[in-house]
Amino acid sequence: MHHDEERRSKLLKLAIGTIIVTALLSQLLLQIGGGPRDEPLDFTEQLDHPLIFEDGLPPFISSAGVYAPESIVFGIGFTLSGILFILLAYEMAVCNSLKLSRHESTNLHIWSNNLGMLVGMFTGASLMIISWTPMHTQLIAHVALALQIFYGGMLWASLATISRSRIDSKKQFKNIPMNLLRWVLIAITFISLQLSGLAIANDSLNLAAALEWLLFFSQVGVLASFQTVFDSNHSFEEE
């Protein structure tokens, strides 16, 4: 059992590390690439209204999927991340189900765990697909997939939080109750997504991109908090 939890813990860390490195490295290559990245990009043909990035690609995460070499890092890295998320969703649910069976769990906890696994796997699959769906040629599909990933990630985190609400009720991180921390991060994710959409509607693309990065790191933070799923030694503080 200990070896299984150690393996699953490494899977969680690998998934988090892969997606962070992919996002940051591809963005770095985008920012230093110059050339066509700084030229106007017209999406009007894909929409029923004009949309032109006059100053070139804004620093959205997805902007790194347009030109090589960052598009190669983007495609391979997020494909691997999607695969790891699918595996992680399954492993989290399996490990969690074993612990739920030893606690006073209700049907809500059990169903949240099972549904969370499916949502997590769906989110991972969407991440794999978006890796090879560049926004400059398939904008509508790309945006739809991005929303699936963002909302799917929020739903996965919410269901996982509900499923562990009793198990982690006494756990803390830096004196903050773990369940509260998760809900705060999920709320930040949701609010960031809504504000990012408003910023885009008002042509504040750099602000929208900054909010997307806040969303990204908030979701990563929630995911990292589920180390408790695989933690048999209770390394997180308890009240």
Low-confidence ranges of the chain (pLDDT < 70): 1-3, 232-239
Of 47, 62, 42, the C-alpha closest to 134 is 62
- The torsion region of residue 3 among left (phi > 0), alpha (psi -120 to 50) and beta comes to alpha
**DSSP of 164-217:** TTTTTTTEEETTEEHHHHHHHHHHHHHHHHHHHHHHHHTT-HHHHHHHHHHHHH
pLDDT in tens, 184-205: 999 999 999 999 999 999 999 9
d(C-alpha 62, C-alpha 58), whole Å: 9
Residue 49 in 3-state DSSP?
coil
pLDDT in tens, 88-119: 999 999 999 888 887 778 999 999 999 999 99
At residue 234, the pLDDT reads: 47
At residue 2, the pLDDT reads: 64
The pairing of beta strand 176-177 with beta strand 237-238: unpaired
> What distances in angstroms separate CA 172 from CA 2, 159, 179, 234, 239, one per listed residue?
22, 19, 8, 10, 7
> What distances in angstroms separate CA 183 from CA 114, 168, 178, 188, one per listed residue?
19, 13, 9, 9
At residue 103, the pLDDT reads: 72
At residue 48, the pLDDT reads: 80
pTM, full prediction: 0.92
